[in-house]
Structure 1
Amino acid sequence: MFLALCCGVILYLTTPIVMPQVINVPKGSIKSIITYLNTIENVPPEQFGRFDALVMRFVGTPQSGFVDLGVENPTRLEFFKRLSTAKAATREVTLIPGETLYFFLQDVARMYGLDAQKLQESYDAYFHLPEGVIVPETYKLPMGLSEDALMRLLAQISYKWHEESAIKLMGVYDRDKWFYYVAIASIVQKEAANIEEMPIVAAVVFNRLKLGMPLQMDGSLNYGIYSHQKITPERIRNDTNPCNTYKYKGIPPYPCTSASLQAIKAVLEPADVEYLYFVRNKNGTHTFSKTYQEHRDNF
């Protein structure tokens, strides 16, 4: 009986489990860590149980933060050992609100010694929109990840953030509806001079939409490689990208840049104003107006 029990335990501990190479272990009790391990994407939801908590206590306390297991799908015992001893070397990279995916991937490639084109290909595989899904944030990511693994990790982090933020702000996560608001927020992010202006700029967007007016906002044309370029009349006339809000009415089909939580909140709670126009002042902020004549007088 005892021998059979020992054989069963050995078999249990030496059987491979389903686990990605890099995981982000939260701080907390062993029980909470077990719960987290069962919620990792593409991992069986009941892979770990009470016996694993006992093994974890025996082997050693798990580390928090990014942990590089060194291999995918290790044996159960190997996993617990590495969970308590292996920790990934990390570097920080920041996606600034209003910045585009193109420049973010250039930064990631430089910081982590990766190929920007392969990063883009992996992005296309894991994200449903060409822009605006990765959350503008400072990421402390492990070194040694492949382009595919890094993008997969950013997708997991970003989509979780979007879902949690939508539920917190709207009570429900309707992906298409949420990213419609993110698309508006990406324009607000580029146009507003500061956080205080964001609800007013958002109101201008909605007021123009109600009247069927084109948005005609330069910030929407700061997409992709044009993120830091001044908008010219030639670009406005000839650019056929859907982010050209001079050429196309309505909201672009996807965010044109990254958008902060403050910009999204401003879109969900725009100011109660009737403004349709705004122009930048010498001090960098904007003067808002209701009529075109007022707008012209403000130049």
Structure 2
Amino acid sequence: MKKPRKKVKSKKSRILLWVLGIILVIIVSFITYLLTSVTSPKIVYIPQGSVFKSISHLQSEGVNVHKIDAFILRFLGQPQQGWIDVKEVKMSRIEYLYTLTTAKAVSKSLTLIPGETTEMFLRQVSEELSLDLTKLHHSYEKHARLSEGNFVPETYSIPNEFSEEQLIVHLLNESDKKMRILAQSYNMEPESPKWLQIVTKASVIQKEAASVTDMPYVSSVIDNRIKKGMRLQMDGTLNYGEYSHQKVTANRIRTDRTPYNTYKNKGLPTSPICNVSKEAIDAAINPKATDYLYFVRGKNGEHVYSSYFSTHHQNIVNATK
């Protein structure tokens, strides 16, 4: 009876040694993994969201991190958000992940207002961040898909040390991601001609509407006038580029020969006239069901709409009294 017990005991010992051996291999492998090197830019951007989103973004930027690092990072703490300075270009993995949770933010906030043109936005960027305007223009022309309407208006986090080209590429990439998500929410592709037409219409709405609630009504006027073969004749389309904040005069209407002049050209401009908000895009896709053809800004700042020119003329008279 004793011999079988020894065999059982010997078998259990072998299993225990086997398990301990596996555990030891795992521990050694894990420590070895933590000591592998990570190569990264000194200044990195950490988006808002989970640690998995942070790791995914770093991967997209060429940093040699992996999904398992998200679990390690969660154990170490929450990474800083925005642009952070990790100091070293190369360090061990454990040092790098720990640094992501302790590094200081090195960024400024930059806000793009809905309805602003890229020209005015680049001037703002040049002034606020002390960057070269000519280089900003050159970088934009080099990387932008469209001449206007590429940026998504919101507040961006910008690192203190950033070249003109790096800034433009970052803003375009971030805007492209947001625009792609927005387009796909309407089952459209952001590169399609249909989406370009929607963004172009939204840019006109953005310039003309007195408020967000006003946007679907302006959208309906645009559609109604196009259906009837009428020119849009909207001043906002002439507030493109450097003319963003200039009053549109009769002389400007007569002499402007660009596709933006909707007093001379039928339909929408061939491309956006400004950077648009998601509210303007939604209004472009979902106009109010009206038969309005005209509107004028009333004394209270809100638009007064009408379906007949005679009524519109009287509304103009009332607005100027």
| TM-score of the superposed pair, with normalisation by structure 2 | 0.79
State the Cα distance separating 1:174 from its structure 2 match.
Answer: 3.9
> 23, 47, 52: which is aligned to 1:25?
47
SS at match of 1:196: coil
Partner Cα distance (1:240, 1:97) in 2: 26
Partner Cα distance (1:57, 1:96) in 2: 36
Q: Which residue of 1 aligns with 2:37?
A: 14
> 42, 49, 56: which is aligned to 1:35?
56
Deviations 1:78-135 (A, max 9, x none): 7435423333322222211111111111111111111112112222222211111211
Change (3 A) 1:11 1:64: closer
Q: CA RMSD in A?
A: 2.9
Structure 1 residue 191 corresponds to structure 2 residue 208:
yes
Q: Which residue of 2 aligns with 1:171?
A: 187
Q: Which amino acid aligns with 2:236?
A: G
Q: Identity of paired residues, percent?
A: 40
- Residue correspondence of structure 1 range 47-66 to structure 2 within 5 A: 48-50=66-68, 52-53=69-70, 56=73, 62-66=79-83
State how many pairs are aligned. 288
Change (3 A) 1:74 1:244: farther
State the Cα distance separating 1:20 from its structure 2 match.
Answer: 8.4
> 74, 98, 122: which is aligned to 2:115?
98
Q: Which residue of 2 aligns with 1:136?
A: 153
Structure 1 residue 281 corresponds to structure 2 residue 298:
yes
Return the structure number with greater relative CO, CA threshold 8 A, min gap 6: 1
Change (3 A) 1:205 1:58: closer
- Residue correspondence of structure 1 range 244-255 to structure 2 within 5 A: 244-255=261-272
Structure 2 gaps of 5+ residues are 1-24, 317-321
- Residue correspondence of structure 1 range 68-217 to structure 2 within 5 A: 68-69=85-86, 74=90, 77=93, 79-80=96-97, 82-168=99-185, 170-176=186-192, 177-217=194-234
The answer on whether the counterparts of 2:52 and 2:67 sit within 8 Å (CA) in structure 1 is no
The answer on whether the counterparts of 1:91 and 1:111 sit within 8 Å (CA) in structure 2 is no
The answer on whether the counterparts of 1:94 and 1:136 sit within 8 Å (CA) in structure 2 is yes
Partner Cα distance (2:116, 2:219) in 1: 19
| TM-score of the superposed pair, with normalisation by structure 1 | 0.84
The answer on whether the counterparts of 1:281 and 1:287 sit within 8 Å (CA) in structure 2 is yes
Partner Cα distance (2:237, 2:217) in 1: 17
Partner Cα distance (1:85, 1:139) in 2: 22
The answer on whether the counterparts of 1:203 and 1:275 sit within 8 Å (CA) in structure 2 is yes
Change (3 A) 1:24 1:240: farther
Structure 1 gaps of 5+ residues are none
The answer on whether the counterparts of 1:88 and 1:143 sit within 8 Å (CA) in structure 2 is no
Structure 1 residue 222 corresponds to structure 2 residue 239:
yes
State the Cα distance separating 1:137 from its structure 2 match.
Answer: 1.2
Q: Which amino acid aligns with 1:248?
A: N
Partner Cα distance (2:228, 2:87) in 1: 57
The answer on whether the counterparts of 2:111 and 2:153 sit within 8 Å (CA) in structure 1 is yes
SS at match of 1:105: helix
Partner Cα distance (2:92, 2:220) in 1: 55
